[in-house]
Amino acid sequence: MNISAKVTGIRYTPLLCKKLNVFDFEDLSKALSEEGTFIIEINKKQLALSWWVSAKRTRSYPYARVYDSLDFSGKKVTIIPIMKDEGKEGDRDFLQWDTISLMSLLGIYVIISYYKTAERSLKYKNKITNQRFDIDHITSKIKDLLYYQSDALHWNLKEIENVAEMGKKSLESYERISKTLGIEMHSREYAEKRIKKILEGKEIFMNLSRDLAHRAQIRESMTIQPKEDIATGIKAALTIKNYLGGYYYFTSDEVKIQDNNIFLIEAKHTKKNKLPSVGDIKDGLLKMILFTNLEDVKIDGNTYIPIPVLKLTTGKDFIFDELNKQQKKLFEMLKEEARLNGFKILLNDKFIV
């Protein structure tokens, strides 16, 4: 099933954002090593800062980190590596335009950076770990952002212009890391081709990224991840066009059609007898931000009323009353967020909201 929709603006009130610790600008390196999302203060000005472990949005809950910054009233910034190579025995991911486009839609300023240092993995012969950004590059960007007057879209488009430079620096950095640590990395050939595409210009980079995202969407819509527990309904490809003219290629874990209503379901599952992790839930909430703002939802030319659903499934012996106080409080706040923003919560096939 292929669904198309539009987003003309974002209206959403988050309630589950964690309390963010405040760090002085001089302690930025420490903050990046200790927190996924935090507030940085410089010259009595503040920014909410999150960072992605990998350029890929399905690793390490980057959406959850971004979500935690949404309650901050000032500028919200996220740092994304242009690429991440974990070594020959690890993964390698590349930045995609659709990620930048989504952050622009959410009003998030993006700093595209690269990893400068790393350590040898103790478990794998050809894998690196504990990768760290070029702190000088990030501090320079933050200083620029403090006095930047335009919106996130304009900043992010400007950042895209620096993608080629960041790609070169990233490749050079991984070359140094490989020689220093004696670790074999992935072949440079494919990475150089990707960087070359980026060098050819923003439009080509955008089209390349959209094509790759589209292929990933098709693959995902045909498969069910092991941690997902989808008992009913079907998986669907969801293509969203925003007011910027950009396209996002997502999937809805499960879709059900009843009359003129279409239920767009984002599923989070755990085999344990408790709620899915907070990271999983927040990751799902970022999808709810999109789903609750959809307009003109169509399948084969037919228009439907979207009903966003966050589906939570647990182990078979789950008993709500046996949840600890913290999880019960989390769930009550989640229900309130659903009511405020107009999405439903399905807990083990029972609608709670």
Domains of the chain: 2-217 (no CATH), 224-351 (3.40.1350)
Nearest 5°: phi and psi at 303? -90, 140
Please list, residue by residue across 64-89, b when 16 or more beta carbons sit within 10 angstroms of its beta carbon and e when fewer do: bbbbbbbbbeebbbbbbbbbbbbbbe
Does 205 score more than 70 pLDDT? no
Burial class (CB in 10 A: 0-12, 13-18, 19+), 232: exposed
- At how many degrees (to 10) do helices 202-221 and 152-160 cross? 100
pLDDT band at 45 (very low <50, low <70, confident <90, very high): very high
| Cβ–Cβ under 8 Å, residues 177 and 128 | yes
DSSP code of residue 25: G
pLDDT band at 215 (very low <50, low <70, confident <90, very high): confident
| Cβ–Cβ under 8 Å, residues 301 and 292 | no
Per-residue pLDDT, averaged over 320-337, amounts to 95
- At how many degrees (to 10) do helices 97-105 and 202-221 cross? 90
Does 169 score more than 50 pLDDT? yes
Percent of the residues in the chain that have a pLDDT greater than 90, as a whole number: 66
| Cβ–Cβ under 8 Å, residues 196 and 189 | no
pLDDT at 233: 67
Per-residue pLDDT, averaged over 200-227, amounts to 62
Does 209 score more than 80 pLDDT? no
pLDDT at 35: 97
What DSSP string describes 260-329? Answer: TEEEEEEEEE-SSSSPPPHHHHHHHHHHHHHHTT-EEEEETTEEEEEEEEEEEE--TT--GGGS-HHHHH
Per-residue pLDDT, averaged over 45-67, amounts to 91
> Global pTM?
0.88
pLDDT band at 56 (very low <50, low <70, confident <90, very high): confident
Nearest 5°: phi and psi at 299? -130, 120
Give the angle 195-200-203 at the CA atoms, nearest 5°. Answer: 105
pLDDT at 20: 98
Q: Which of 112-126, 182-196, 197-211, 315-329 has the lowest mean pLDDT?
A: 197-211
CA distances from 261 to 2, 284, 312, 345 (A): 15, 21, 21, 16
Strand-pair partners of 239: 4, 249
Nearest 5°: phi and psi at 17? -60, 135
pLDDT at 220: 67
- At how many degrees (to 10) do helices 97-105 and 152-160 cross? 170
pLDDT at 230: 35
CB atoms within 10 A of CB 317: 8
pLDDT in tens, 88-142: 999 999 887 778 878 888 899 999 999 999 999 999 888 999 999 999 999 999 9
